[in-house]
A = this chain, B = another copy of it.
Amino acid sequence: MKKLINDVDSALSESLDGFAAAHADIVSLGEQRQFVRRRQLKPGKVALISGGGSGHEPLHAGFVGHGMLDAACPGQVFTSPTPDQMLAAAQSVDGGAGVLFIVKNYSGDMMNFEMAAELCRAEGSDVESVVVDDDVAVQDSLYTAGRRGVGATVLMEKIAGAAAEERRPLKEVADICREVNANARSMGMALTSCTVPAAGTPTFELGDDEIEMGVGIHGEPGRERMKMKQASEIVDMMATAIVDDLPFNKGDQVLAFVNGMGGTPLIELYVVFNELNKLLTGRGITISRNLIGSYITSLEMAGCSITLLKLSEDFTKLWDAPVNTAGLRWGV
């Protein structure tokens, strides 16, 4: 295992210290690095909190800041954060307008965020939780009952974050999240595995001519292990599964998110976007917004995922609203 770290046990802490130092104008670290929060809170705004295992950077800490999250709770690599992290984050950023937990559908995250919500309510906070489960690849998975939460998380954090900045109330921001989840679908694939530092060996093995179609963001098995294919065939498989699932229909306007898994360069992601654009155009679906890059990653895994979100006028306006985070920045 070759990684730019000092040692396995301190890697996350040191990475968080580097992150907090680099973006000190936007964020600060909670005590014992339990959470990353905005340096400046907005009075009267619903507080958005997410979190999950580390190794998916920039998700989630990279999305803390104006227009997105108020706090993010990082667990160890691919391991859920604990309920006391979420409670501490909520106590730090709840300005009285309530707290919204954005939870990816993995058993550990679900359990711990639920416990945190109970703890917060016991302290008198108004708390709502929303679940992301946009991955169409498989029905149940290694760490998930039902569908896994993947790329839609990024879009949900941006869109709900903008709604919260407009001072929309907790119930409405939660409903927007559920609407994003209901209108988004994703699927991923891997060219290579990744290596969790604490494990020291690749999470799974792939042959030199093999890909994992429908892989999860922790390297969970997908639909099928298959021989390497051209980008056009790979995109066709993923996009068809996504489009048919919702379904997306002729005349729809979508946000197309082509995500790199961490080890795939931009030159390839744009080939994927080009194929996706042709395929959707052929079906009468218009990509009116896009996001291309590595935003929800799996350490150094090579591969990509596609997320499509059906856009309403409100979603589009909220997507376009200013954002100032380490990972996404525009309009400010």
Question: Are B265's CB and A57's CB within 8 A?
Answer: yes
A4 and B269 contacting across the interface, CB-CB below 8 Å: yes
Closest chain B CB from A325 CB (angstroms): 11
The one of B12, B14, B273, B329 that contacts A330, using a Cβ cutoff of 8 Å: B329
Instruction: Give min CB distance, A216 to chain B, whole Å.
Output: 17
CA–CA, A332 to B269, complex, Å? 25
Q: Which of A65-73, A118-126, A148-156, A228-236 contacts B (4 or more CB under 8 A)?
A: A228-236
In the complex, A273 Cα to B294 Cα: how many Å?
19
Residues of B within 8 A of A21 (CB): 273-274, 277
> Closest approach, in angstroms, between the C-beta of A31 and any C-beta of chain B?
18
Query: How far is it, in angstroms, between the C-alpha of A230 and the C-alpha of B21 when the chains are bound?
Result: 20
- Which B residues are in CB contact (< 8 Å) with A282? none
- With a cutoff of 8 Å between Cβ atoms, the chain B residues found around residue A211 in the complex are 2
From A55, A300, A331, name the one whose CB has the most chain B CB atoms within 10 angstroms.
A300
- Tell whether, in the assembled complex, residue A14 and residue B271 are in contact, meaning their CB atoms are under 8 Å apart: yes
**A2 to B: closest C-beta gap in Å:** 5
Chain B residue nearest to A291 (CB atoms) is: B22
Knowing A21-B274, A274-B17, A300-B265, the reply to whether A231 touches B290 (Cβ < 8 A) is: no
CB contacts (< 8 Å) of A16 on chain B: these are: 270
**Could you say which residues of chain B place their CB within 8 Å of the CB of A57?**
265-267, 270
* Chain B residue nearest to A190 in the complex (CB): B2
| Docked-complex contact A267 and B54, CB < 8 angstroms | yes
CB distance from A164 to the nearest CB of B (A): 21
Contact A2 B191, CB 8 Å, known A15-B268, A57-B267, A270-B18? yes
Q: Judge whether A48 is part of the interface by a CB distance below 8 angstroms.
A: no
Instruction: Decide: A2 and B271 in contact? CB cutoff 8 A.
Output: no
Q: How far is the CA of A277 from the CA of B16 in the complex (A)?
A: 13
Contact of A5 among B14, B19, B22, B268 (CB under 8 A): B268
CA distance A42 to B303 in the complex (A): 39
- Known interface pairs A22-B292, A292-B22, A330-B332. Does A271 touch B4 (Cβ–Cβ under 8 Å)? yes
Minimum Cβ distance to chain B for residue A177 (Å): 25
Scan residues 1-25 of chain A and give those whose CB is less than 8 A from a CB of chain B.
2-7, 11-12, 14-19, 21-22
| 0 or 1 for each of A228-246: is its CB under 8 Å from B? (1 = yes) | 1011101000000000000
Q: What CA separation (Å) do A4 and B299 show in the bound complex?
A: 18
Task: Jot down 19 A-B pairs with beta carbons below 8 A, ordered by A.
Answer: A2-B302, A4-B303, A5-B231, A6-B230, A6-B275, A14-B231, A14-B271, A15-B267, A15-B271, A15-B274, A16-B270, A18-B275, A57-B265, A57-B267, A262-B265, A263-B302, A265-B299, A265-B300, A300-B302
